[in-house]
Structure 1
Amino acid sequence: MTDDDLIGVHGKETTGPRWAPFRDLNNTAARLFTEGRTTEAAAMFEEAYRLTLVDDLDAAGFDARARVLGNLSSLAEARGDTGEALRLAEEALFACDSAEHGAGDRYGTVAVRTNVLIQRAQTYQLLGRFDDALTDLDAALELIDETDAGHNNRLLAFTLHNTRTVQLIRLERLDEADAAARHSLELATAHDPRLAGHPYSNLAMIAQAHNDHDAATAYLRLAEQIHTASGDPVAAALAIANQGRSAARQGDLDTAERLLATAEQAFLDGQQPLRAAEIRSSRAHVAFQNNEIDLARSLLPQAIETLREAGHVVMLAEALALLGDMLAADTGLEEAEHAYLEARALYEATGAPYQVARLDMRRSIAIADAFERETDPQEQQRLLLSALYLSLPSALATDAIRHQYAPGPAREQWAATVAIPAMAHALHLAMTVGDGALISELLEHMSATVSLHAPPQPAEFTAAEPFEFPVHDFEADQLSFAASAFITGSSTGFPAAHFALPPRLRVNPNRPSALELWIAETERRYGFPIRSDQVVDSW
């Protein structure tokens, strides 16, 4: 493979004989990183960086420094040292300033700056700092001319849109994420088909969020084949890991363990402990599902430690939720609740209301299981009401998320495989409590489809007195820094095509609504409306 064959941001013109040794080191290291030979790559990048530590550094040298610092930033993230990754990215941007001050864009430094911003946005996403990530992506977008058919612009446009896909997935804006992933796929197909595996993996993650296991598996197999054929073992290992997670959700636990163990070993061999920890957490989940409790206990603590040190909030939250499940089944609810609440706080901080609702449902299920085991009537009643208090708002919120989808299969898949099972659990608890009025109104609420038309004037309610989902452990597929290495060259709203929120229902005009207080609590708890302010009579 020549330097021109490497997928990466190339320089506009040669930086001259002075920087030829740097070019050789940097480009060879980029190739080694692509092959998963991380330790060798790191040593070479460090050697290349040291060549730029001279007093008489010219503009070409500052451009070179920016490129190698970008590569070192990515290596730091792969090791799980996100603080160092951000520091190196900042230093790379300062080097870009100096290069551009001395030579403008003669050496292609603007493309380097753009790529550093995109890569830093990916680190921010890992940390759950989505506002900072969006700021960097917006800044990068201003630097990209998508009408320019040159290599750098086409690669950067792809990388930007692929990263934006991940941002939208994390923000639970799945319709927009799907559109962004498909646009990324078009860009990859037109520019360099070796890149297509990344959007295929992200399309798999979106399909998995809808419980469409067959589509997810098909996308992941395509991604693995493309990454393997293009000589990117790291990205191929990620696709294999996600196939393992998909197999686990379909109940094929033996296949799941085999695939996850294979992927974990690949990341360990490639000196990428953070990725390995993500997979180890998934292996612990599979072991717990398979009733291999000792194995789960041996895998999970080390994974949590690595994820916590790196600040990888999404996967840390999933690992802590699993810890809660394990503690609830073993030592009891009190210790489990500490783990659950830490996971919940992480999801809440990242602005992921569905994940918060899903976590609350897990807490409810754990309490309901404890209710089934309890023999004391008073304690049974307390547990039952606690389970309902968590379950019903979670189910109402989960059902309302369908209204954020455009009409189509994804919306119906969400309703059938996510919302309805959640509501079934809440209904079961309400029936066990024996609250007939609540059950009646809840059934009417579920029957109120978007075909109902509310009257133009609002009505008042008289309030009463107060009173297994898709697992988010898939890893989205960023364009790895090995595939976007710096080669030295010679809105918040959903799309408009959605239904409006359904109205609230007045089931019985002669008594206060039993459900209205639950709706208000749901909207307070998760921060978004689940019904419009308008009211219709259901009788």
Structure 2
Amino acid sequence: MAATGRTSDGDDDQLAAGYAAYQRGDVLGALEIFERAAQDAPPRLRSAALINAASMADELGEHRRSVGLMRTALAVLPADAARQRPAALVNLSQAYQHLGELDSAQETLEEARSLLADGTDQGLLPVACLLSLTAVALHRQQWARAHELAAESLDVTRRLAPELIGHPLMNLAAASFEIGRRELAVDFARQALAAFEAAGDAAAVAETQQNLAIMFVRSGRYDDAEEPLGASQGFFEGAELEHRAGIGAKTYGYLAESRGDFDTARTRYRHALDRFDKAGAVLDAADVRLRLATVAAAEDDLALAEELLAMSFEVYAEHGLGMHCAQLDYWHAELLHRTIAADAHPDPATLSRALTLAVPAALAIDAVRHTLPNGNQREHWHRTVAEPAMRLAFQCAARTGDGQLVADLIDSRCAGTALDVESVIEPRSATLEFELLDPPASDDSAPALHLGTALADVAAAAGIRIAPPPRLSDRGRILLSDYISHAEQRYGRLIRDHRVIAL
């Protein structure tokens, strides 16, 4: 059984001691007890102890260690303990999710769901499986599926485990927030918080407080974020939950950065980075390095900023996060451009680097807008990422005096849609969002439609796969050809269709 604070008559004394430690909030102590219990134990007891040890490691943020323990447990699981396999798979999927390995998480959950389909009474496990499936859908930004799974799990939880009702409520909050229904999301989150408080689940209360604080931060409601953030951070630090404490430290850093307090921001981000490194949360660590780079650039340490950006880019590229890479390149170019704009005699080499980063990134970022099936996502992507990135590309091209490039960018933007000139040339303060946006992976199972911009928005809203924009030809010359090729190679995704349209 997974560590839930409950024991049964057949539990070994050491397992019972581990459960008791977990119930007291001593997660590290519980981990040590379970690992000792697994040593030289008979197969059934060993597998049970390893499963619980893996759960404790995951709660402590040691996700890679958790995966190793759980895999070992599954390998030694005896035939007469087969009922433990679905539970172990669900727990393993959670560790995979924390590591960003969503394919592995999905595979383990599908196996668990298949094993649960035989109708055998598995207690609360159907609830856990549905909650984890919802979490994966949320990670993949499949908001409609996430909402559907959350609603299904809400019904199942009411029937099987009403004391856990806060979990599907929080998933409904997350799905609602991402489709732009932010007040409804906050309402769901507060319902979830009340449910966890009523159930006496201190860890879930803290997680919900942190999630609510992040919703406030992402909505620009910084003052509202302070109280739930402080309450949750006290719990996570006291319980030595490295990953969650790292998220809290990063959030505190972002609040300080947003208020111009770079000393505090840098300190908080460093604390977050230390915790993420200890937890093996490499993507979270890369995100924090990106924020530290922004602080370094604000304090005129461009060399340090670029070093940190390079480290983050390497991590994103290794994990196949092409749009994270594109957004990082855009922000890298933005930081360079700020240096250029502040210098009466800017370095031509710096301007060239900014241009080389800005144009491919802008083309890649702009090309994905019709892949987003939700109108709020498309609007948010355009307003916070695509429009600023394209504006920066225009500014860099104009500064170099490359009239042909400026003309090509205009033609590319005007193909099928009107160019909002004011949005391109009007000076605005670019900002880096609290979280990088990453469009969901495209579904290659259905043919893509070739539509103009207006119809593409309609089709995308209906969930229809839309082809990337076409390539444009001017008297045999493909516009932006070198930049397009570079972007597709650098970000690992098609940003222009193979069709060619003559101007």
Is the structural similarity TM-score above 0.5?
yes
Matched residue type, 1:66: S
Map 1:10-49 onto structure 2 (within 5 A). 19=11, 21=13, 25=17, 28-29=20-21, 32=23, 37-39=24-26, 43=29
Q: 2:47 aligns with which of 50, 63, 66?
A: 66
Equivalent position of 2:68 in the other structure:
87
Correspondence 1:237 to 2:224: no
Equivalent position of 2:413 in the other structure:
446
Equivalent position of 1:493 in the other structure:
443
Map 1:209-288 onto structure 2 (within 5 A). 214=183, 216-288=185-257
Matched residue type, 1:399: D
Matched residue type, 2:406: I
Equivalent position of 1:463 in the other structure:
none
Equivalent position of 1:294 in the other structure:
263
The CA deviation at 1:335 is 1.4
Question: What are the ranges of 5 or more consecutive residues in structure 1 without an aligned counterpart?
Answer: 104-108, 452-467, 475-490
Matched residue type, 1:277: G
Whether the aligned pair in 1 keeps the contact of 2:31 and 2:53 (CA below 8 Å) is yes
Structure 1 302/412 Cα, relative in aligned 2: closer, same or farther at 3 Å? closer
Structure 1 391/197 Cα, relative in aligned 2: closer, same or farther at 3 Å? farther
Equivalent position of 2:322 in the other structure:
353
Equivalent position of 1:506 in the other structure:
472
Whether the aligned pair in 1 keeps the contact of 2:5 and 2:20 (CA below 8 Å) is no
Whether the aligned pair in 2 keeps the contact of 1:503 and 1:536 (CA below 8 Å) is no
The CA deviation at 1:385 is 2.8
Map 1:460-539 onto structure 2 (within 5 A). 468=431, 470-472=433-435, 493=443, 496=446, 497-506=463-472, 508-509=474-475, 512-538=477-503
Whether the aligned pair in 1 keeps the contact of 2:127 and 2:156 (CA below 8 Å) is no
> In structure 2, what is the Cα distance between the partners aligned to 1:317 and 1:119?
25
Equivalent position of 1:310 in the other structure:
279
Structure 1 10/418 Cα, relative in aligned 2: closer, same or farther at 3 Å? same
Equivalent position of 1:465 in the other structure:
none
Whether the aligned pair in 2 keeps the contact of 1:185 and 1:196 (CA below 8 Å) is no
Cα deviation code 1:197-241 (max 9, x no counterpart)? 445545555666677755654453344333333332322322322
Give % identity.
25
The CA deviation at 1:49 is 6.8
The CA deviation at 1:312 is 0.2
Equivalent position of 2:150 in the other structure:
184
Equivalent position of 2:289 in the other structure:
320
Provide the secondary structure at the position in 2 that maps to 1:268.
helix
Matched residue type, 1:76: A
Provide the secondary structure at the position in 2 that maps to 1:427.
helix
Equivalent position of 1:76 in the other structure:
57
Q: 2:333 aligns with which of 346, 364, 369?
A: 364
Provide the secondary structure at the position in 1 that maps to 2:48.
helix
The CA deviation at 1:262 is 2.4
Matched residue type, 2:303: E
Matched residue type, 2:99: L
Whether the aligned pair in 2 keeps the contact of 1:361 and 1:394 (CA below 8 Å) is yes
> In structure 1, what is the Cα distance between the partners aligned to 2:31 and 2:284?
29
> In structure 2, what is the Cα distance between the partners aligned to 1:293 and 1:19?
52
Equivalent position of 1:143 in the other structure:
115
> In structure 2, what is the Cα distance between the partners aligned to 1:208 and 1:448?
33
Whether the aligned pair in 2 keeps the contact of 1:212 and 1:413 (CA below 8 Å) is no
Whether the aligned pair in 2 keeps the contact of 1:210 and 1:470 (CA below 8 Å) is no
> In structure 2, what is the Cα distance between the partners aligned to 1:431 and 1:221?
49
Equivalent position of 2:360 in the other structure:
393
> In structure 1, what is the Cα distance between the partners aligned to 2:30 and 2:219?
43
Structure 1 146/44 Cα, relative in aligned 2: closer, same or farther at 3 Å? same
Cα deviation code 1:417-436 (max 9, x no counterpart)? 43223323323333333433
Equivalent position of 2:428 in the other structure:
none
Provide the secondary structure at the position in 2 that maps to 1:506.
strand
> In structure 2, what is the Cα distance between the partners aligned to 1:429 and 1:125?
39
TM-score, with structure 1 as normaliser: 0.75
Aligned length: 469
Whether the aligned pair in 1 keeps the contact of 2:30 and 2:56 (CA below 8 Å) is no
Structure 1 44/428 Cα, relative in aligned 2: closer, same or farther at 3 Å? closer
Cα deviation code 1:42-80 (max 9, x no counterpart)? 54675577667677x4xxxx4454334322212222223
> In structure 2, what is the Cα distance between the partners aligned to 1:369 and 1:212?
35
> In structure 1, what is the Cα distance between the partners aligned to 2:184 and 2:356?
35
Cα deviation code 1:453-494 (max 9, x no counterpart)? xxxxxxxxxxxxxxx3543279xxxxxxxxxxxxxxxx9736
Greater shift, 139-148 or 515-524, is seen at 139-148
Cα deviation code 1:83-108 (max 9, x no counterpart)? 43233223422442x2x2xx3xxxxx
Q: 1:425 aligns with which of 384, 392, 403?
A: 392
> In structure 1, what is the Cα distance between the partners aligned to 2:383 and 2:239?
41
Provide the secondary structure at the position in 1 that maps to 2:501.
strand
> In structure 2, what is the Cα distance between the partners aligned to 1:160 and 1:305?
27
> In structure 2, what is the Cα distance between the partners aligned to 1:240 and 1:473?
21
Question: What are the ranges of 5 or more consecutive residues in structure 2 without an aligned counterpart?
Answer: 419-430, 447-462
Provide the secondary structure at the position in 2 that maps to 1:536.
strand
> In structure 1, what is the Cα distance between the partners aligned to 2:175 and 2:394?
28
> In structure 2, what is the Cα distance between the partners aligned to 1:515 and 1:54?
65
> In structure 1, what is the Cα distance between the partners aligned to 2:442 and 2:496?
19
> In structure 2, what is the Cα distance between the partners aligned to 1:407 and 1:223?
25
The CA deviation at 1:292 is 1.3
Correspondence 1:125 to 2:109: no
> In structure 2, what is the Cα distance between the partners aligned to 1:471 and 1:83?
25
Cα deviation code 1:120-178 (max 9, x no counterpart)? 23223323444544443344344231766753452343144134325xx2xxx42x354
Cα deviation code 1:489-538 (max 9, x no counterpart)? xx9736854243244253632x7344222222221111111121112234
Whether the aligned pair in 2 keeps the contact of 1:403 and 1:498 (CA below 8 Å) is no
Greater shift, 71-80 or 314-323, is seen at 71-80
> In structure 1, what is the Cα distance between the partners aligned to 2:201 and 2:215?
21
> In structure 1, what is the Cα distance between the partners aligned to 2:444 and 2:207?
29
The CA deviation at 1:275 is 1.2
The CA deviation at 1:284 is 1.3
Provide the secondary structure at the position in 1 that maps to 2:474.
coil
Structure 1 82/8 Cα, relative in aligned 2: closer, same or farther at 3 Å? closer
CA RMSD of aligned residues (A): 3.6
Whether the aligned pair in 2 keeps the contact of 1:340 and 1:363 (CA below 8 Å) is yes
> In structure 1, what is the Cα distance between the partners aligned to 2:176 and 2:104?
27
Structure 1 182/225 Cα, relative in aligned 2: closer, same or farther at 3 Å? farther
